[in-house]
Amino acid sequence: MKRVHCLYRVSTKRQLGSTDENDIPIQRTACHEFADRNRWTIIKEFYEKGISGFKVSATKRDSIQDLKVAAEKKQFDVLLVFMFDRIGRIDDETPFVVEWFVQHGIEVWSVTEGEQRFDNHVDKLTNYIRFWQANGESLKTSMRIKESMNQLTERGVYTGGVTPFGYTTIPSGRYNKSGKELVDLVIDPSEAPIIRMIFEKSVREGYGSHRLSALLNSMDIKTHNGSRFQCNTVNRILKNRSYCGYYISGDIVSPHMPNLQIIDEDIFDQVQMIMAQRSAKNDVKTQMARNTKSKTLLSGNIYCAHCGSRMNSSGNVDKYTRKDGSEYEAQRQRYICSKKNRNSCTCDGQSVYSAARIDGAVEAIVREYLARIKTTAKSVALEKRYQTEIAEMKSQQREAEQENKACKERLAQLSTEISRSLTGDSKFTPDMLAMAIENAKTDLLKTEDRLTQLNFALNNSQGAMKKLDHYYEQFRSWAEEFEDAPIEERKMIICQLIREINVSRGYELDIVMDMNYEQFLSA
């Protein structure tokens, strides 16, 4: 009597629903009936739940490895599955897994497809074709599931996945094909204030992921799995646009859902700008301080006007003994031209500048800006800024339309060459022409996509005005808060208000404001 090991497998289920939920009992019953008909004895059964035979290699599947060990020890005679694709669906791997068992004296049987033999080349080819087809079916299934998930996301339907911190799930009253109740995502009232604090600390005080994770851990706040916060956990939160009130699946974004919004989109965009600037390479000009812990007011956006290098801040201690014998000690901060300090360029500016002198001058200029915004009427400021932005978008739209027209003409010209290329009368070979046409199509899609985005931006005038309103209100709030704000907040205000500060000999300052705020002052 032959000894049998059975393998049952169902893949990972998503909230979308799956007919696989009851597959294990179905597979098990069919295998037992098949074994009984053949008078075989099932001595061991292997179960794989949530394992994809299409995505997970056999080398990483414990059941396959355990079966191989048992085969080498001659502990069974037959490997029985409901269908051969339960062994796997990877076309360049699974056929050889099956052949390995046969070469080690194990018969491989399927309830629905019979025995897989390797007596000749036809058997080997049949085996390969079977798993090549299974691989293709998995690809099609994956595409169908992905498309279904995308369509649900576009309709604003929650499709499951990891629940982000700040949200929880509740029963929805809807059921999938297997009768399992689905869930809806809702804001967690105990976690949402923590999310708002994370974003506020990032924007207002310049907290990075290290300081934020340390702060959360000091408050004994845990993640959903009960762990301490790590830097990468905080970064995922800061980069997750879902907090603005969207379901997001890859590149697919749902319509806006106010009931899920924790963070204002303008705040989210500011955080992305801050993170992008801080991740830039050292030789790239930025306006954002990499951190706000230094004692100087400026960092990140202050440069040497002579060589263009970034100015670094540092402190030194002056010590000397007074005539009366007492010791005097003073902490002084300074800005240093990084390239001149390393003798890496022929900078003719100063090596060192007093931080107190520069900080004082910049603060005086910022106070002037803030005083001017207090006297600028909101309606006037927004109208001037809005008209400038619309004019810029229309200019970009005209450029995009011209590029789009040129791409269409180029594609039409190449298309007329097809018949000439096939007869050998064209300067293009068929391969060259095919590549050129493909590149032209890609360029056309890019210009059409850009044109669509610009048209949308122009039509969405209300959204544009809302963005301007945010910048104006922020400018006004800075005017009210600046004097009493701690140094970390004042640093962040200056970093966002001023794009670049250039310092030259004699403490001459050239200040370039950020365009989002500068045009309010010229209204």
Q: What is the pLDDT of residues 146-203, one digit of tens each?
A: 666 677 777 778 888 889 999 999 998 888 766 788 888 999 999 999 999 999 999 9
What distance in Å separates the CA atoms of residue 521 and residue 523, rounded to the nearest whole number? Answer: 6
Residue 468: the pLDDT is 75
Residue 133: the pLDDT is 65
Q: Which two tokens stand for residue 104?
A: 């080690």
Q: Beta-strand (E) ranges in 176-308?
A: 181-187, 248-249, 252-253, 302-304
Question: CB neighbours of 354 closer than 8 A, spacing ≥ 6?
Answer: 332, 334, 335
In the chain, where are the structural domains located? 3-154, 167-278, 289-323+331-414+451-523
How many CA atoms are closer than 13 Å to the CA of 503, on its beta-carbon side?
A: 28
Question: CB neighbours of 505 closer than 8 A, spacing ≥ 6?
Answer: 306, 348, 349, 350
Residue 14: the pLDDT is 45
Residue 327: the pLDDT is 79
Inter-residue contact 54 to 135 (CB < 8 Å): yes
- From the number of C-beta atoms within 10 Å of its C-beta (0-12, 13-18, 19+), residue 8 rates as buried
What distance in Å separates the CA atoms of residue 260 and residue 270, rounded to the nearest whole number? Answer: 20
240 closest CA partner among 170, 183, 169, 163: 163
Reported CATH class of domain 167-278:
alpha beta
Residue 16: the pLDDT is 43
Q: Which string of b and e fits 473-494 if b means at least 16 CB within 10 Å?
A: ebbbebbeebeebeebbbbbbb
80 closest CA partner among 128, 45, 117: 45
Cα R_g (the chain), whole angstroms: 33
Residue 19: the pLDDT is 42
Average pLDDT across each block of 10 residues of the chain; the chain has 523 residues. List them in order.
Answer: 90 47 78 94 88 72 91 94 82 79 92 83 68 61 62 78 92 78 91 96 90 95 94 94 90 88 92 85 67 78 89 81 78 87 84 92 93 81 68 85 89 79 72 81 87 76 67 88 89 89 93 84 65
Inter-residue contact 198 to 237 (CB < 8 Å): yes
Residue 17: the pLDDT is 44
CA distances for 411 relative to 188, 407, 426, 445, 452, angstroms: 53, 6, 16, 12, 20
Question: CB neighbours of 99 closer than 8 A, spacing ≥ 6?
Answer: 118, 124, 127
Q: Which two tokens stand for residue 243?
A: 């907090």
Q: Which two tokens stand for residue 409?
A: 């003409």
Q: Which helix (H) or strand (E) holds 408?
A: helix 378-416
Inter-residue contact 306 to 502 (CB < 8 Å): no
Which option is the CATH number for 3-154: 3.40.50.300, 3.30.2350.10, 3.30.160.270, 3.40.50.1390? 3.40.50.1390
Full-model pTM: 0.58
Residue located via tokens 């879902």: 242
How many CA atoms are closer than 13 Å to the CA of 10, on its beta-carbon side?
A: 15
What distance in Å separates the CA atoms of residue 122 and residue 127, rounded to the nearest whole number? Answer: 8
